[in-house]
Structure formats: C-alpha cells, structure tokens
Amino acid sequence: MEDMGRRQTASRRHCDGASDHIVSVTVDLETLRRKADAVVHADLDDCLVRLNAEFGEIAGKTLLITGGAGFLGYYLVQSALHWNGSVSSADQIDVTVIDNYSRGVPGWLAALGGDRRLRLIEHDITQPLAADCQAFDYVIHAASIASPTFYRQHPIETMDANVNGLRILLELARQRQHTERPVRGFLFFSSSEIYGDAEPSAIPTAETYPGRVSSTGPRACYDESKRFGETLCVNFANRYGIPVTIARPFNNYGPGLKITDRRIIPDLAQDLLNGRNLTLHSDGSPRRTFCYSADAIVGYYKVLTRGRSGEAYNIGQSGPEVSMKELAERLASAAREVLGYNGSIVTKESTDSAYLTDNPQRRCPDVSKARRELGFDAVVSLDEGLLRTLTWYAGNREGAYA
C-alpha cells in the first residue's frame, strides 16, 4: 500500500482567465529531500575545490558578511564553513553575519547557529555597529533589498543599505587603515542593474559601459544607490588606499533563493510546486542570461581576494541569453524530470502596475575581465542549474518559504 505521508499527488483545476487546465505534480517528499541535500553538498564540494587558493588566503582570518541571511548568503556563508570543515583549527575562518532579518531568520541559518566559527548578529546595517564587532580582516557588504518587487515597496530602506550602510563599513575600514590590522579585502555587492536598459550595441555589456538608467523611475532607488555605492567604493579606494572591490552580479538563481522572493525563477517554481501552469507577467520577450549561485559565489570570493582595488567586475554567465518564455519552457522541462510536471505556459498582466517599468529588455554580461584578471568562468549550464534549483525547491518546500 502506498505511504500517503511520504507521497503526495496534487491534481488541481486551475483557471488562468483564458482557459482551464488540469496540472498534476507527483511528489515523493523523502526522496526529494535527499536529492535536495545532495545538490547542496555537491555545490559546496565544488566551491571548495574551485576556491582552495582564495579560502587559503582568508584562512585563520575574520570575515564579515552583511546580508548573510539572504539568497547569496546561503552559499557565501556555507562555503566558508565548509572550508572550515576541511582544515585544521588554525586555518578556519571566523564568520560573522550581520542581518536585520527583514524577511525572518531562514531555517538553514538557524540550523547553523551552533557552529563555533559562526556569529549571528541581528542588526540594521544603516546604524552604527557595536564596539565589539567593528574589526574584520575581510568584509562582504551584501545587505540590501534585492528583489524588484520589494525594493519598490521599500525604496528608502534600499537606498540606505547601499549608501549609508556601505559608508559606515567603509569608514570603519578607513579608521583601521594605518593600524596593525588593516582590512585586507572589502567587497561591495553592486548589480548589473547599474547598466539599466543597455543599447543593443552594448550587449554583451562590459564594465566600461556607463549605463542608461532613470534617476527617478520606480527602479531608481536600487539602480542609483548601487551606482552611488560604487562611486563611494572607488573614492575610498583611491583616497585612502582601502582594498575595495565591486561585484556586479547578473541574474543569479539557485538554492537559498526564497520561493516567495518574487524574482522570475522562484515565481515559476512556485507555480510548478503548486501544480499550476507557469505564469509570465510579460509577453515573454525580455532576454537574460542566468548564473547559478554556486558558480557565482566562486566569482565573488575571487573578486574579494584577487580583484584590483577600486575596480568593478561583472559576475555572471555569458550565455545562453534566453527570453523569459524560453526560460519557462526550460524550467517546465526540468520539472517534468524532477516532478513529472505536465503544465503549460500562460501570460497574465501583473497586479503590480510598475512591474515592467524600466525593466531592461536585454541583459547579458561581457565576462572577459573576470576571466582575464581573476581566472573566473561560470561553468554550470542553464539546464543543469535549473534542474539543481528545482530539485532544491522541491526538497525544501517549507524551508524555501522562510
């Protein structure tokens, strides 16, 4: 007899306004959980191999990760702790996470709470840091609202984290510049959004492209605060000699990205897991390249430890550049393999009237600078990354909502 506790089959009638669809998703929860854990273990092992030299540099040092409870924090934090598990005590990295937990404490981070090399601090980075958490050898400033839906809802908080929060951290680094323990590396998370809606002739987009961005539109709180953040970094590097580097991520996705985050891949994953057809809120024509998070994390640690001070680096996948419709098709095909999914793709206008305002039509990085200067290349193909991501969502249905 079938174990109904372990096996759930969702078969629902779904109305998308135009037609009714029956979508069935068959889920064997225990198997899916095991497979999701295997994806994370394999990703962490892979990071360790690819970042052996970089973690070797951070070995025995202290590392601050602001925004470490977020999506990219998932692998930024866990890969450093994974390194710790492979070396002697003297070479372990002391990791401090500062986060205001604006969207709650994720289960994966709470589960790491007992790790003696991990310190978790609930704090808003736009406020001064307590005296006992000001001195770090390496700093990664990743705290910012990153999802367009949420930064449009909280524009002031978004600007504050990228400008005032960054300024606080840069000032602390400046104060330590001529002490016995200066900051050795400081990474600011900017964004590919600083390029705005690049002209077709500027695609793929190199770091030298100045950008085409609205300073007053609904996305400006994010784009312009990242741009000003970069300006702060460059000038603190030039004027005070602080080793500040900048990463410009291009559409990352993968384990750790909350399914409720309202970015395109988690939105589609939610449809899949709830047995609905895949809903696109555009005509499906905007094009992007997508970079799997475990791949991108390798790039970020390389920018931190190998990047030239005052320089920005595109971190992303150079191809394939796919339309949103093609992305949905590829995800549906991965879901057929993981879940036996048999839904289709529908379009529906978003209830958010600013959803598509200033949304770049194409986004694709020129990654030659990171390749040349850092030896970084993204290696996980889109189909493989989508398969791993979906496997992770399927096995972390509760955790993914944290």
Which positions touch ligand NAD (CB under 6 A)? 66-67, 69-73, 99-103, 124-126, 142-147, 161, 165, 189, 191-192, 249, 251-252
Rounded Cα–Cα distance for residues 303 and 57 (Å): 13
Nearer to ligand NAD, 162 or 391 (CB): 162
Q: Which amino acid is at 234?
A: V
As given in the structure block, the two tokens for residue 20 are 């009714």
CA distance 341 to 89: 46
Looking at beta carbons only, is 191 or 318 nearer to ligand NAD? 191
Q: State which residue, 236 or 292, has the beta carbon closest to ligand NAD.
A: 292
Active site residue 222: yes
What DSSP assignment string belongs to 85-153? TTS-GGG--EEEEEE--TT---HHHHHTTT-TTEEEEE--TTSPPPGGG---SEEEE--S--SHHHHHH
- 23/146 with CB nearer ligand NAD: 146
CA distance 355 to 324: 14
Tokens of 346: 């529908």
Q: Which is nearer to ligand NAD, 69 or 173 (CB)?
A: 69
Q: How far is the CB of 175 from ligand NAD (least distance, A)?
A: 20
Nearer to ligand NAD, 151 or 236 (CB): 151
Are the C-beta atoms of residues 193 and 209 closer than 8 Å to each other?
Answer: no
Query: 286 to each of 10, 45, 253, 283, 320, how far by Cα in Å?
Result: 31, 34, 17, 8, 13
Minimum CB separation from ligand NAD for residue 363, in Å? 10
162, 168, 263, 316, 319 from 380: Cα distances, Å: 29, 36, 20, 11, 11
- Name the residue nearer to ligand NAD (CB basis): 72 or 237: 72
Contact present, 98 and 70 (Cβ < 8 Å)? no
What's the Rg (C-alpha) of the chain? 21
Closest contact distance (angstroms) between CB of 208 and ligand NAD is: 19
Min dist CB 165 to ligand NAD, Å, is: 6
Residues 6+ apart with CB under 8 A from 340: 24, 25, 26
Q: What letters, b where the CB count within 10 A reaches 16 and e where it falls short, cover 192-216?
A: bbbbbbbeeebbbbebebeeebeee
Catalytic residue among 222, 300, 313, 341: 222
Token pair in block for residue 392: 């992770």
Min dist CB 65 to ligand NAD, Å, is 10
What minimum distance in Å lies between the beta carbon of 105 and ligand NAD? 9
CB 75 within 8 A of CB 107: no
**Residue 15, SS3 per DSSP:** strand
Closest CB 249 distance from ligand NAD, rounded Å? 4
Point out the residue whose Cβ comes nearest to ligand NAD: 70
Task: Kindly list the catalytic residues.
Answer: 222
